[in-house]
């Protein structure tokens, strides 16, 4: 199937010279709109399938369920061409062959192409982006990768049990429940069920801080110099303060 590129308005090079490109459509917000999807479905997808269809059996198209994929115009065109459209539920990229085994392979090569082009002083620009991306697309889009993507997604051969509840369980990172590994020691009482004790403050603690006991200054008789020490001059007091850190 020939790819379609959605881009911002502007010059994107002579993409039509590459017969392996389906079409290029400009859009202001760079999102797939209803008319863009309809144009791709009628002018690219239906045309390609008609050229390669080997029997009169109905065709099945898997889509990710985006609103632009199931407009009345698209559904009517599919019905007239003996085609069924199956929309996958949201957040089920594991069931989509392109997400599972194609886009990631192409993305690795595309990133390397961008880095290599920058190193030699010829960065990829708007006019060369599509042609260079097709290089990465062709280098990784081979029959083995496509078949493997269908197998990993469980779509063909059909394998409904390839994914379990754990694969689509809620995220444990943002969960409000405690998720511990199986090897973690089990608590006698779950953490969430343990009562939270209230620590009562000591009423005398703050009183001792703000109202410390009076300091008694020793008289001269109580302050005797140690034996062997030089007496201090008259009228001078020697006070030693030891501070521990």
Predicted confidence (pLDDT) per residue in 57-81, tens digit: 999 999 988 888 889 999 999 999 9
Please say if the pLDDT value at position 239 is more than 70. Answer: no
Quick one: which of 89, 142, 181, 125 has its CA closest to 7?
A: 125
pLDDT in tens, 155-204: 999 998 888 888 877 777 777 777 777 777 765 555 555 555 555 666 65
Contact by Cβ (8 Å): 124, 132: yes
User: Which pair of structure tokens corresponds to residue 19?
Assistant: 């017969």
Q: What is the mean pLDDT of the chain?
A: 79
Sign of CA dihedral 63, 69, 71, 77: negative
The two three-digit tokens of residue 32, written as one number: 């797939």
């Amino acid at each position: 199937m020939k790819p379609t590129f959605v881009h911002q308005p502007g010059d994107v090079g002579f993409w039509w010279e590459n017969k392996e490109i389906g079409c290029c459509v400009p859009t202001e917000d760079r999102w797939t709109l209803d008319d863009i999807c309809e144009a791709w479905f009628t002018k690219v997808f239906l045309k390609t399938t008609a050229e390669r269809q080997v029997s009169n059996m109905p065709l099945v198209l898997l889509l990710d369920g985006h609103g632009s994929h199931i407009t009345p115009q698209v559904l009517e065109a599919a019905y007239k061409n003996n085609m069924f459209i199956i929309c996958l539920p949201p957040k089920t990229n594991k069931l989509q062959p392109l997400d599972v085994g194609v886009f990631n392979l192409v993305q690795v090569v595309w990133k390397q192409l961008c880095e290599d082009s920058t190193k030699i002083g010829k960065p990829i620009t708007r006019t060369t982006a599509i042609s260079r991306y097709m290089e990465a697309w062709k280098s990784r889009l081979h029959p083995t990768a496509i078949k493997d993507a269908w197998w990993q997604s469980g779509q063909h051969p059909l394998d409904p049990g390839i994914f379990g509840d754990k694969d689509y369980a809620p995220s444990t990172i943002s969960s409000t429940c405690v998720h511990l590994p199986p090897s973690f020691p089990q608590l006698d009482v779950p953490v969430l069920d343990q009562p939270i004790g209230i620590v009562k403050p000591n009423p005398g603690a703050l009183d001792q801080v703000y109202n410390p006991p009076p300091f008694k200054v020793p008289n001269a008789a109580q302050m005797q110099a140690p034996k062997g020490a030089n007496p201090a001059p008259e009228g001078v007091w020697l006070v030693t303060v030891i501070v521990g850190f």
